[in-house]
A = this chain, B = another copy of it.
Amino acid sequence: MTLDIGTAAKPRTMRLRADATRNRERMVDAARETIVEFGPDFPLDEVARRAGVGNATLYRHFTDRTELIRQVALSVMARTAQRAEDALVEEPDAFSALQRFVFEAADERVGALCPMLSSAFDRAEPVVEQGRRRMENAITAIMDRAQCSGQLRGDIAVGDLMVALTQLTRPLPGTGCVGFDRFVRRHLQLFLDGLRAPARSTLEGTAATLEDLQGCQ
């Protein structure tokens, strides 16, 4: 509904105050990190704490947790799609584009999108659907190019990449493991090596798309 945020009903047409805008951005960022770490049931107070604002400010900007998740999802999808589009255009080598995208997506914390698989989240909403489609198209384009050039194995799809990416970059819950990030990039690289053509094995099951993931709710 943020097509025009408050929509017709509310006088949100007026510009937010400078500090309000700044805080709003901080809160979405903080929410992204918190979701990645805690999963869909993240505590809202933790988001406020990380954003450096009072919890009341959080509730003032987002009516409820669903609305906050929605904003995070839109933000992450848009930024990730942009990264993918940039990588596709700017990288001369097809597999390099894929690699670049994977590492950048990790930085963007695509894992924050996992609440989208929750039943509480309305994926069918036009704006969300549109964001997902843009992201999926961009990633598919990267993968297609790499597959056509014979550098990426052909038996995988977007869902395989995104789920593994989410899983490998997810922090261990409860443990504030500081040195952990140092290993994540290694594991992503190892996974990427496994994606290269020629395939070194035969995969069981079928390639996963993003729809497949949503379908299993």
Question: CB within 8 Å of B: which residues of A?
Answer: 38-41, 114-115, 117-119, 156, 159-160, 163-164, 166-168, 170, 172-180, 182-183, 185-187, 189-196, 199-201, 203-205, 208, 212-213, 215-217
Which residue of B164, B185, B200 contacts A193 across the interface (Cβ within 8 Å)? B200
**How many Å lie between the Cα of A183 and that of B156 in the bound state?**
11
Q: Provided the pairs A183-B159, A187-B167 are in contact, do residues A173 and B40 lie with their beta carbons within 8 angstroms?
A: yes
Question: Given A174-B41, A185-B204, A205-B185, do A190 and B195 touch, yes or no (CB 8 Å)?
Answer: yes
A190-B118 contact, Cβ under 8 Å, with A40-B174, A173-B40: no
Per DSSP, chain A at the interface is helix
Q: Which residue of B lies closest to A99 (CB)?
A: B201
Nearest CB to that of A164 among chain B residues?
Answer: B187
Contacts of A179 in B (CB 8 A): 212, 215-216
Can you name the residue of chain B whose Cβ is closest to the Cβ of A116? B175
Decide: B216 and A172 in contact? CB cutoff 8 A: no
Contact check, A41 vs B173: say whether CB atoms are below 8 A apart. yes
A213 proximity list for chain B (CB < 8 A): 177
The answer to whether B217 and A173 touch across the interface, beta carbons within 8 angstroms, is no
Q: Which residues of B contact A203 (CB under 8 A)?
A: 186, 189-190
Chain B residues closer than 8 Å to A164, beta-carbon distance: 168, 187, 190-191
